[in-house]
Structure 1
């Protein structure tokens, strides 16, 4: 570990690890906003925690508030089966198919949320490392 010490905002005598931590928090604060809050909220609403009866034994137990909502609001049927993903299908590697546009949208929103949150996490880490490397001595830089 480096003996170098750094300063960030009001924090002084920071080790390289502590400096990286405070920069990461600062970048997270800058990146996250209302869209991220909405993504987390809709992702939570997509959890299969609502019990339902009548599902086949091989089906994932329960359904989500989001799926119930979109199935009631969008009652249109597609002319062909549309591919969808859930957490279970990601584990098994198999897609689910449905003709219900409501079910399709209900399953699509959480996938989009995960992609959105992944993008934010990537941006935060990229900007954190870039800013950190610009502030520290050569021997404390990351990825060089």
Structure 2
């Protein structure tokens, strides 16, 4: 990041000139995002989301069941086989329907393998949601340190 200055109501940031307040915010967000995604944590989060998507066709499911299964579910069932829990745990399944593409079903289970396979993508989504929150907060703080009083967000 280069020096930040103002001239006639525009900003200079990171070698870019004549930026409006919204352009300044955008380029600060690009910088913060580039600084943030440097570790393996985010790659693992994306991989867990991918591993938890229903990509494998499965026959023998009932009519109202969510079609397909995931790699996370398949391998957790193979590794954890018949381990049962003494209590039920909630699992979350993405179950899109016509007109409701973001529908989530909650299903209780006693099987450790089922719980593990369905929880892996939830953890990935939680990590990425945390990343978005951190990037947004850090961007807003840095922007407010640079921007004029009339351009500040809070």
Whether the TM-score (by the shorter chain) exceeds 0.5 is: yes
2:140 corresponds to 1:129? yes
Q: 1:4 aligns with which of 9, 19, 40?
A: 9
Q: Is 41-50 or 80-89 further displaced after alignment?
A: 80-89
Question: Which segments of structure 1 move beyond 2 Å, counting only runs of 4 or more?
Answer: 79-82
For 1:91, the equivalent position in structure 2 comes to 103
**Alpha-carbon distance in 2 for matches of 1:96, 1:10:** 52
2:151 corresponds to 1:140? yes
Aligned Cα root-mean-square deviation (Å)? 1.7
User: What is the 5 A alignment of 1:97-112?
Assistant: 97-112=108-123
Kindly indicate which of the two structures has a greater share of residues assigned to strand: 2
For 2:89, the equivalent position in structure 1 comes to 82
Q: 1:51 aligns with which of 32, 50, 57?
A: 57
Offset of residue 88 of structure 1: 2.2
Offset of residue 79 of structure 1: 2.8
Q: Is 82-91 or 62-71 further displaced after alignment?
A: 82-91
TM-score, length basis structure 2? 0.84
Helix, strand or coil: the match of 1:51? Answer: coil
Q: 1:24 aligns with which of 20, 26, 29?
A: 29
**Alpha-carbon distance in 2 for matches of 1:87, 1:47:** 8
Structure 1: give runs of 5+ residues left out of the alignment. Answer: none
